[in-house]
Structure 1
């Protein structure tokens, strides 16, 4: 990005778009509509989501176009086919969110399995499954992918591919259907002849000290589409039984994200123990699961935490460490906090967010990652590729007044545009280190 006056104004506008929602005393998501006992709210679909019906036959599956979001349903025993058209230069990520109504009960193996294959049935990646793991239903997401690899002939050609979503689990009968949301994102490849960036080394798993001061009030969203934008600091929300609240945090190349969710005591007379009373999950820009932790809750204060590897393009080449591999993008990362429906009454929750590390230059993309939804200066699922200096200023917690000065005269240009890891115990050490 140019350091000229025009470039600085554009950078300021981008910075305002990112930070202004965080500068007040309260960051708000869309109004939450409660439709379940206890006040929990259902998943909010994307504005303009296209209704679609997956088919039983692979020959008839409807096409999912890139950069669009689709809505469908799935029920016990169903397997649905869709088509996606891939080019021969982009890394493709096709995600599914399954969003049962709050309070819905599930078996320990209930969930979905997703896959991406060539027209002749060749798998393009492993076939991930997402499971509820018991009776705590909540929105879950995962993606299947196709990565462009110079040393592979598997799924590298341009053409039509098959994307499937299958019911997985013990509930093979019945009529109840759960909403699903499908999204196809295409990340540009690297410039011809460019070297693939190397993975970061020497990073630490030690979380930064929590921010001091009064927590900022925030109202989390119901899912990825209305997740409340938050940043480095301490945030305060109130959870209803069965609630899943979503928040989004901007993570630049080279940065690590550390999270701690802490439940306060409940004023309810009930002291029933909920094994997975509090769940904390993190998803990446393409809606792929990074980590999932939980802890029990009996009405006394309890918490759980997690930390990540630095966001790096080379993480995608990591084998045997799914949480590290998932930190493969710069962009918005989605935090999900869930309160078990067995908990009685509303419970105050604090969320500590820590970003550690200097923002680094990105890889030499052969295309615009912002237009594809990956990055930080736009308003889509991932934003774009803001100037590293501007990003660093933003993540350092620049004051609202300074942001307003930087953006004066330009702010009007801005627009706002899930396999689960094993459960962890309360107060466990950060799970990912080198």
Structure 2
């Protein structure tokens, strides 16, 4: 699912540039030469900084590596409830899941908030997985009563990539009433022929306060369920992020990136209360090769708490093809009372995640690519006020669409590590500007001192 850009290439380039500048700075003892030696030292430092900051932002990494959120806290899963470490709503965590393991994590919950825990399993690049491999995530109270559970598998493409599943303690439901100690159980599901590699885990815990006023507990019945027409127009390039924390924002429009087999792209779309989202993904034609790849492209939609909503996929024979999510209802609080996943998941406003994976097996028939992937995103409907929560969510504002969210959809801002890389890239550009200015000023000054000495 995406890739983490390595710093190794940046360090190697930095070393070459440093050596080059030092070689050019050696020579005579004139004032100009001395100044140039000083320029060489500064230039080496600035070029090193530019090499370190700019190159990793564009260098390709391992196909299946995942961009963990830089704010993740490390937590160990326990084999029993007695030793389960506590997850706090509003935080994200990093853990690991050995083959065949079943691990517990704890939660201390109040009686009124709904709490969601999403778990993303990250298999290492190159590992062998079966279609039925994956994880099961469930939540239970201190008496062992189950609240909710969900499973996620790699599917027919058997391409290793992060998969996510969620569980919840929904306040007001018959099961799991009341506050107290709760547990999240993460189970690894393996086929006999799968690799024994340990998988990485990223866990998020989110709390949703109750509405200030009680409303109906029936799901909406009347909404436009017709398949919308895909958005047309010229595609704009927007590189996807490498994980949920670094998902790149997009809004309504046509967006394109070029993807190598085995990679996964993360985007997020701000969708407000009352708005309706539709998405189509296209995989462009191959420039060579032949064959047939089952589930070559996988498109998954996750809601703001990283809960799975819907998915679509397409097989590939080398010619352009597309797949669309099924019609989704407008975002409403009442959607949670639907028994259908693609309706139930559209229960709050916020950033919805689009996760696009190109199967590693595409390379076997059609080469390493990259292959053009286009997303056609439509957001319709007038936004309206939410349910009016009686308290704050954790993390704050997760169930809102802010002005910053709308601006990010226009500019393509990312979160987490991807944002940091963009800042560093800008810093690298800035360093280059400073270098040019410094060279100019110091060289002129050195020449003036040389002229004065000659007199």
Q: Does 1:226 align with 2:273?
A: no
- Counterpart CA distance in 1 for 2:357 and 2:71 is 26
**Residue 353 of structure 1 is aligned with which of 373, 377, 380?**
377
Q: Is the 8 A contact 1:76 1:171 kept in 2?
A: no
Give a deviation string over 1:377-424, Cα, whole Å, max 9, x none.
Answer: 187xxx7xxxxxxx7xx89x9x99xxxxxxxxxxxxxxx89xxxxxxx
Q: Does 1:332 align with 2:351?
A: yes
Q: Does 1:190 align with 2:216?
A: no
Q: Is the 8 A contact 1:102 1:243 kept in 2?
A: no
Q: Is the 8 A contact 1:310 1:327 kept in 2?
A: yes
Give a deviation string over 1:178-219, Cα, whole Å, max 9, x none.
Answer: 11101110011112x532476444322334444443211100
Give a deviation string over 1:48-98, Cα, whole Å, max 9, x none.
Answer: 211111011210011111111110111211011111111111100011001
- Counterpart CA distance in 1 for 2:123 and 2:336 is 30
2:273 aligns with 253
1:130 aligns with 152
- Counterpart CA distance in 1 for 2:403 and 2:166 is 22
Q: Does 1:159 align with 2:180?
A: yes
1:69 aligns with 92
- Counterpart CA distance in 2 for 1:172 and 1:85 is 38
Q: What SS is found at the alignment partner of 2:238?
A: strand
| TM-score in terms of structure 2 length | 0.72
| TM-score in terms of structure 1 length | 0.75
Q: Does 1:373 align with 2:398?
A: yes
CA 1:364–1:84 in structure 2 vs 1: closer, same or farther (change >3 Å)?
same
Larger CA Rg, structure 1 vs 2:
2
Mean Cα deviation higher: 325-334 or 342-351: 342-351
1:57 aligns with 80
CA 1:322–1:48 in structure 2 vs 1: closer, same or farther (change >3 Å)?
same
Q: Is the 8 A contact 1:34 1:42 kept in 2?
A: no
Q: Does 1:180 align with 2:201?
A: yes
- Counterpart CA distance in 2 for 1:136 and 1:173 is 12
The structural deviation recorded for 1:334 is 0.3
The structural deviation recorded for 1:35 is 3.6
Q: Does 1:303 align with 2:322?
A: yes
Q: What SS is found at the alignment partner of 1:98?
A: strand
- Counterpart CA distance in 1 for 2:264 and 2:162 is 7
- Counterpart CA distance in 2 for 1:264 and 1:174 is 32
1:31 aligns with 57
In structure 1, stretches of 5+ residues that fail to align are 1-29, 384-390, 401-415, 418-434
2:9 aligns with none
Name the structure with the higher helix share: 2
**Residue 313 of structure 2 is aligned with which of 294, 300, 303?**
294
In structure 2, stretches of 5+ residues that fail to align are 1-55, 412-418, 421-455
Q: Does 1:168 align with 2:193?
A: no
Q: Is the 8 A contact 1:32 1:221 kept in 2?
A: no
1:107 aligns with 130
Q: Is the 8 A contact 1:254 1:312 kept in 2?
A: yes
2:234 aligns with 214
Q: Is the 8 A contact 1:111 1:167 kept in 2?
A: yes
RMSD: 2.5
Q: Is the 8 A contact 2:69 2:243 kept in 1?
A: no
